[in-house]
């Protein structure tokens, strides 16, 4: 994100030597939580890139996200933007960016996903972690439930929002995953009902959508969603977001 064509090509070429697939992102979201990075395991960000119009600078955008990232910049940017760089899932490299150093840092930040998965598995071993998964698409149900079970979560499946609400009220899950578009009661309606009931008011809820629609994201957070993830996403991204939400719940 934020690189000129020549520098972006060099970075993508370096990743390719380790069989990594790089992609240049053009349009960027302008609110926290909009997950246009979901198909990617990590981001490489130009710390020197400035904001364009109403869009934030790439460094500001990545600072508000949980995405593993490598920040490329100058020494003064390391000092002034420490908040964006700090954390086990972040690293910094100064220009000129040598391919070997870039690959070394990429390997390090991607270990964050594995570490996150280990935390989830450890939490699961300490007690049953029930997740209610609400979606009317059979393929999505199989994919997400398989990921959850792999990381030792117990999964209850609902095929619409009304069924998800009934299960949540009856079984008090650790987390609810709600697809936005469902029959009978959609994800927004189910979220409203969950937040309106004393028994489920504080239950973490992650909305799942097939659309990169900022209006939907704003509506979801305004109704009380804990997070919002867009399809397609990989297992590391889903588990990292679940871990973040459950960790915040415990604090």
The answer to whether the CB of 211 falls within 8 A of the CB of 123 is no
Residue range 5-111 forms a domain whose CATH class is alpha beta
Residue 27's pLDDT band, with cuts at 50, 70 and 90, is very low
Backbone angles phi and psi of 217, in degrees to 5 = -65, -45
Residue 75's pLDDT band, with cuts at 50, 70 and 90, is confident
Q: Which residue has the higher pLDDT, 117 or 229?
A: 229
pLDDT at 32 over 60: no
Given this model, what pLDDT does residue 214 score? 81
What is 127-250's CATH number?
A: 3.40.50.2300
Tell me, rounded to whole angstroms, the distance of Cα 176 from its chain centroid: 16
Burial class (CB in 10 A: 0-12, 13-18, 19+), 38: middle
What tens digit of pLDDT does each residue of 146-161 get? Answer: 888 878 888 999 999 9
Distances 137 to 21, 36, 140, 241 between C-alpha atoms, Å? 29, 21, 5, 21
> Above pLDDT 70, what percent of the chain?
84
Q: Which residue has the higher pLDDT, 65 or 98?
A: 98
Which residues are CB-contacts of 178 (< 8 A; sequence separation ≥ 6)?
134, 161, 164, 187, 190, 191, 205, 206, 207, 208
Domains 5-111 and 127-250 share a fold: yes
What are the boundaries of each domain within the chain? Answer: 5-111, 127-250
pLDDT at 225 over 80: yes
Given this model, what pLDDT does residue 29 score? 42
């Amino acid at each position: 994100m934020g690189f000129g064509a020549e520098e972006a090509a060099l970075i993508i070429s370096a990743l390719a030597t380790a069989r990594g697939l790089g992609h240049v992102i053009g349009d960027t979201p302008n609110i926290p939580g909009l997950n246009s990075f979901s198909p990617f395991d990590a981001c490489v960000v130009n710390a020197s890139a400035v904001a364009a119009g109403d869009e934030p600078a790439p460094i500001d955008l990545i600072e508000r996200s949980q995405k593993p990232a490598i920040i490329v910049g100058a020494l003064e940017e390391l000092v002034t933007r420490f908040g964006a760089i700090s954390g086990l899932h972040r690293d910094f490299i100064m220009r000129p960016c040598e391919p070997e150093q870039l690959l070394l840092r990429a390997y390090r930040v991607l270990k964050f996903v594995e570490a996150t998965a280990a935390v989830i598995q450890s939490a699961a071993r300490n007690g049953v972690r029930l997740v209610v998964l609400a979606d009317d698409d059979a393929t999505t149900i199989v994919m997400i439930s398989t990921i959850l079970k792999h990381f030792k979560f117990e999964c209850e499946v609902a095929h619409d929002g009304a069924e998800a609400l009934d299960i949540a009220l009856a079984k008090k899950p650790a987390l609810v995953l709600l697809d936005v578009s469902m029959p009978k009661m959609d994800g927004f309606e189910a979220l409203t009902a969950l937040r309106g009931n004393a028994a489920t008011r504080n239950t973490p809820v992650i909305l799942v959508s097939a659309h990169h629609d900022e209006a939907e994201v704003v509506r979801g957070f305004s109704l009380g969603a804990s997070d919002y993830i867009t399809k397609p996403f990989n297992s590391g991204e889903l588990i990292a977001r679940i871990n973040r939400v459950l960790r915040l719940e415990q604090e």
